[in-house]
């Protein structure tokens, strides 16, 4: 279970980016974090993998406090937290298979990583995962030759080969066309169930969040004003998050 208690962060004095954020997420749940631009969604994700130092609170992953981990412990913890990015963060000139294998780097010495030494088991698992995300026939193709939706599926396979407990997705569908966005959301939900992991995605697409997520967390001005199952996100809640005009537009 992931438990966040009273998380707070200010980048500048007297300008809180997050105030008193608390939530719990059980394995097998796909959670969307929604809210207007600048609300604090990315700050939450960055705190969860400690890319930024928050100011206060607790972040417990299966009872282990991520915030108090030392450097070595954090390296171990980060293996358990996969990341998926809006712009994929793939090495375009390398093959799809090599990019998936990069998800194993956290388990290797720097030298083994640089030399690209992977075990037969790792290669087999990478191929199995490519099959899972529907990209088997692209394994030896360069990533530069793929569409955006295909690249994001490589990113998902790369996150899964880490054997994560949690996958954090920072606007995973923001660069995709509507059909690819649907496919990626469907895939994230399906894999979250299948691997019984926690998947958290920052999203601007309320309709897709409602359609695919199990739980929705709504943030406004750094405060959590909604945390419930996706079907409970009604017009009133959307209006509270984004304002009445936006809610009308979305109706």
Contact set with ligand ATP (CB under 6 A) = 11, 17, 35, 37-43
CB of 154 to ligand ATP, least distance (A): 23
CB of 13 to ligand ATP, least distance (A): 11
CB of 222 to ligand ATP, least distance (A): 7
Q: Is 74 exposed, middle or buried (0-12, 13-18, 19+ CB in 10 A)?
A: middle
* Cβ–Cβ under 8 Å, residues 160 and 82: yes
H or E segment to which residue 150 belongs: helix 148-160
CB of 174 to ligand ATP, least distance (A): 9
CB of 148 to ligand ATP, least distance (A): 19
Please identify, using beta-carbon distances, which residue of 38 and 243 lies nearer to ligand ATP: 38
Three-state SS for the chain is CEEEEEEEEEEECCEEEEEEEEEEECCCCEEEEECCCCCCHHHHHHHHCCCCCCCEEEEEECCEEHHHCCHHHHHHHHHCEEEEECCCCCCCCCEHHHHHHHHHHHHCCHHHHHCCCCCHHHHHHHHHHHHHCCCHHHCCCEHHHCCHHHHHHHHHHHHHCCCCCEEEEECCCCCCCHHHHHHHHHHHHHHHHHHCCEEEEECCCHHHHHHHCCEEEEEECCEEEEEEEHHHCCHHHHHHHHCHHHHHHHC
Please identify, using beta-carbon distances, which residue of 19 and 182 lies nearer to ligand ATP: 19
Please identify, using beta-carbon distances, which residue of 89 and 95 lies nearer to ligand ATP: 89
Please identify, using beta-carbon distances, which residue of 35 and 149 lies nearer to ligand ATP: 35
Torsional class of 56: left (φ above 0), alpha (ψ -120 to 50), beta (otherwise): beta
Please identify, using beta-carbon distances, which residue of 146 and 213 lies nearer to ligand ATP: 213
Please identify, using beta-carbon distances, which residue of 139 and 246 lies nearer to ligand ATP: 246
Q: Using CA atoms, how far apart are residues 213 and 180, in angstroms rounded to an integer?
A: 17
CB of 243 to ligand ATP, least distance (A): 15
Please identify, using beta-carbon distances, which residue of 1 and 51 lies nearer to ligand ATP: 51
CB of 175 to ligand ATP, least distance (A): 13
């Amino acid at each position: 279970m992931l438990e966040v208690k009273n998380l707070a962060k200010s980048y500048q004095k007297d300008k809180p980016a997050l105030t008193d954020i608390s939530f719990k997420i059980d394995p097998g749940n796909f959670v969307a974090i929604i809210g207007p631009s600048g609300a604090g969604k990315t700050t939450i994700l960055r705190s969860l993998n400690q890319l930024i130092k928050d100011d206060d609170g607790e972040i417990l992953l299966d009872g282990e406090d991520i915030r108090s981990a030392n450097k070595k412990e954090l390296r171990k913890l980060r293996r358990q937290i996969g990341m998926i990015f809006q712009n994929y963060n793939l090495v375009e000139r390398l093959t799809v298979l090599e990019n998936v294998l990069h998800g194993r780097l956290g388990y290797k010495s720097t030298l083994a990583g640089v030399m690209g030494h992977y075990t037969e088991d790792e290669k087999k698992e990478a191929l199995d995962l490519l099959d899972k995300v529907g990209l088997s026939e692209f394994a030896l193709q360069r990533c530069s030759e793929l569409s955006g939706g295909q690249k994001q599926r490589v990113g998902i396979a790369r996150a899964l080969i880490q054997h994560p407990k949690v996958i954090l997705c920072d606007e995973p569908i923001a660069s995709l066309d509507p059909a690819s966005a649907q496919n990626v959301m469907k895939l994230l939900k399906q894999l979250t169930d299948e691997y019984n992991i926690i998947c958290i995605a920052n999203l601007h697409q309320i309709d897709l969040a409602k359609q695919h997520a199990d739980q929705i967390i709504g943030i406004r001005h750094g405060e959590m004003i909604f945390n419930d199952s996706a079907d409970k996100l009604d017009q009133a809640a959307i209006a509270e998050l984004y304002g009445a005009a936006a809610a009308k537009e979305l109706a």
